[in-house]
């Protein structure tokens, strides 16, 4: 809806200018600064929910546990996933207020770094599992286990 507001303004402005000789223009920063910021925050929230959902679905399945002998490491990564949204949940100020943009950006940067660390650790588990295999047949079995699993693109690579 917030993005549509910007598009609607643009279309109405073009229509008015096309139908008359006058310009119809307002300060775009004044019009859109708040709604653009809110749309960006909503996009970030969608990213957070999607990321956590992808991690949870991947770690809930038996595939990762079946390819690593280090179950405590899997549990550690699971805890990291569960703690991932905590800094965002503990915000005292509204992230939708433009004046809180720096704090929100800092928290999102932290979220992305921690998500990257989880991806790296998970990829390390998978790489380690392939390194321990002694046959091509074992590698194909492992690929088969992982091929049907919904996972983040960075882990898939």
Q: What is the pLDDT of residue 139?
A: 65
Highest mean pLDDT, choosing among 22-26, 61-65, 153-157? 22-26
Rounded Cα gap, residues 95 and 48, in angstroms? 14
- CB count in 10 Å sphere of residue 74: 18
pLDDT digits (tens, 9 = 90+) for 107-123: 999 999 999 999 888 88
The label of the residue with tokens 């790296």 reads: 120
- Among the listed residues 125, 118, 106, 128, the one whose alpha carbon sits nearest the alpha carbon of residue 152: 118
Query: Between residues 110 and 28, which one has the greater pLDDT?
Result: 110
What is the DSSP track for 10-29? HHHHHHHHHHSSS-----HH
pLDDT digits (tens, 9 = 90+) for 61-83: 776 666 666 678 778 888 899 99
CB 114 within 8 A of CB 80: yes
pLDDT (mean) for 26-46: 88
- Segments forming the whole domain that contains residue 137: 2-156
Task: Look at the chain and report how many structural domains it folds into.
Answer: 1
């Amino acid at each position: 809806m917030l993005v549509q507001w910007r598009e609607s303004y643009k279309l109405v402005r073009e229509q008015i200018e096309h139908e008359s000789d006058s310009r119809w223009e307002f300060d775009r920063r004044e019009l859109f600064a708040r709604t653009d910021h809110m749309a960006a925050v909503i996009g970030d929230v969608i990213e957070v929910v999607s990321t956590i959902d992808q991690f949870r679905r991947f770690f809930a399945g038996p595939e990762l546990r079946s390819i690593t002998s280090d179950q405590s490491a899997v549990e550690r990564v699971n805890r990291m996933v569960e703690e991932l949204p905590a800094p965002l949940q503990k915000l005292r100020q509204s992230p939708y207020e433009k004046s809180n943009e720096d704090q929100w950006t800092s928290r999102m940067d932290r979220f992305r770094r921690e998500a990257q660390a989880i991806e790296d650790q998970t990829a390390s588990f998978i790489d380690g599992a392939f390194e321990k295999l002694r046959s091509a047949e074992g590698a194909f079995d492992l690929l088969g286990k992982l091929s049907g699993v919904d996972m983040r693109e960075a882990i898939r690579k």
